Amino acid sequence: MQKIALIGLGAMGGGMARNILAKKLPLSVYNRSAEVAAPFAKEGARIATSPADAAKGADVLISMVADNDASRSIWLGDNGALAVMKAGTILIECSTLSPAWIKELAAAATARHCYMLDAPVTGSRSHAASGDLLFLVGGEKEILERVRPVLTAMGRHIVHMGAIGSGTVMKLINNFLNGVQAAAFAEAWALVERLGLETEKALDVITNGAPGSPLVKMLASRIAKRDYQTNFFLRLMEKDLAYAMSLSEEGGIRLRTAQPALELFRLASQSGWGDKDFASVIEPIRALIPSKPAR
């Protein structure tokens, strides 16, 4: 039985860890905030004191953290995991990162005679908790097959996208589309409110018509109720749009719709909504709406 370690027990990583434990797989966990990790001991996990401690003896090491800086720190920083990993260990980086960093990390893993997959996920906190994530995997098929039971414990489906980095590219394209849709809907709904339309009728038209994608339906419900309990942090969508724009520039394509969406998410983050759900992107626009609708 493979010994597994998981680093990062936030909105996504916590649910992933619990699904591994539910399958009775041996698991060590590490989180920067020790109080977040502590409850997992009662569920059967070994609580590690550092990324390096988590990596000791692990056959498979999974990371689910916020961004490039956090990923670099856990793999290559002080008490980083990579320095102590045994040859043949498989790294699975599930965080949404830049392809450039993924390639750099893969090279560092190879130098340590380890293997690596980039396997970012689609889904939110609720999908992580229910084991309903979709894994977008880049890397060698043979390595994927060796860890398929581990990924299956956490998700509903696995798509092998191709070579290392391809899962990350697909995830950034996916979140670019999500971010632009969210920004567009926020502005559309602000118009509904600003111009005094009956919100229930407007909601029905939008969500049951051509624009009514699953994402728009979810956003419509949350924005109408001002329900911003976090399923996906706004600041992470801001980060993903920025990474997607950098990726597009490297490929010689300008994402013209990404820039205004990114500006709106940055405004929301600067206005104090960064740690709320990304549906709160509408709030800086709402703040500009007069108390009475225009005539």
Residue among 56, 43, 57, 51 at smallest CA distance from 1: 57
Element (H, E) at 70: helix 68-76
Q: Which pLDDT tens digit goes with each residue over 44-62?
A: 999 999 999 999 999 999 9
Give Dmax (Cα) for the chain: 70
Task: Check whether 285 has a pLDDT greater than 60.
Answer: yes
Which residue, 169, 10, 6, 160, is CA-closest to 92?
6
Is the pLDDT at 163 greater than 60? The verdict is yes
User: Of 56, 86, 103, 171, which residue is the catalytic one?
Assistant: 171
Q: Given a cut of 60, is residue 294 above it in pLDDT?
A: no
Are the beta carbons of 275 and 230 closer than 8 angstroms? yes
Annotation says 171 is catalytic: yes
With bands split at pLDDT 50, 70 and 90, how would you rate the model's confidence at 291? low
pTM for the whole thing?
0.95
Query: In residues, how long is the chain?
Result: 295
User: Is residue 293 over pLDDT 70?
Assistant: no
Q: What is the pLDDT of residues 200-226, one digit of tens each?
A: 999 999 999 999 999 999 999 999 999
Q: CATH code for 169-286?
A: 1.10.1040.10
Q: Treating both helix axes as pointing N-terminal to C-terminal, what angle do 258-268 and 166-194 enclose, rounded to 10 degrees?
A: 70
Distance CA 132, CA 124 (A): 9
pLDDT at 235 over 80: yes
- Collect all residues with Cβ–Cβ distance below 8 Å to 178 and sequence separation of at least 6: 215, 237
State yes or no: pLDDT of 289 exceeds 90: no
Over the chain, what is the mean pLDDT? 96
* Residues with Cβ within 8 Å of residue 24, at least 6 apart in sequence: 44
Paired tokens of 177: 């589309």
Give mean pLDDT, residues 119-143.
97
**Which ranges of 195-250 does DSSP label H, i.e. alpha helix?**
199-208, 214-225, 234-250
Percentage of residues in the chain having pLDDT higher than 90: 96
As a whole number of angstroms, the distance between CA 157 and CA 193 comes to: 39
Across the range 228-250, mean pLDDT stands at 96
| Domain range 4-163, CATH class | alpha beta
Q: Please tell me the predicted confidence (pLDDT) of residue 95.
A: 98
Burial 170-204 (b: 16+ CB within 10 A, else e): bbbebbbebbbbbbbbbeebbebbeeeeeeeebbe
CA-nearest of 167, 178, 173, 186 to 245 is: 173
Question: Tens of pLDDT along 64-99?
Answer: 999 999 999 999 999 999 999 999 999 999 999 999
- Whether residue 292 has pLDDT greater than 80: no
Domain boundaries, given as residue ranges, for the chain: 4-163, 169-286
Would you call 158 exposed, middle or buried from its count of C-beta atoms within 10 A (0-12, 13-18, 19+)? Answer: middle
pLDDT digit string (tens) for 15-55? 999 999 999 999 999 999 999 999 999 999 999 999 999 99
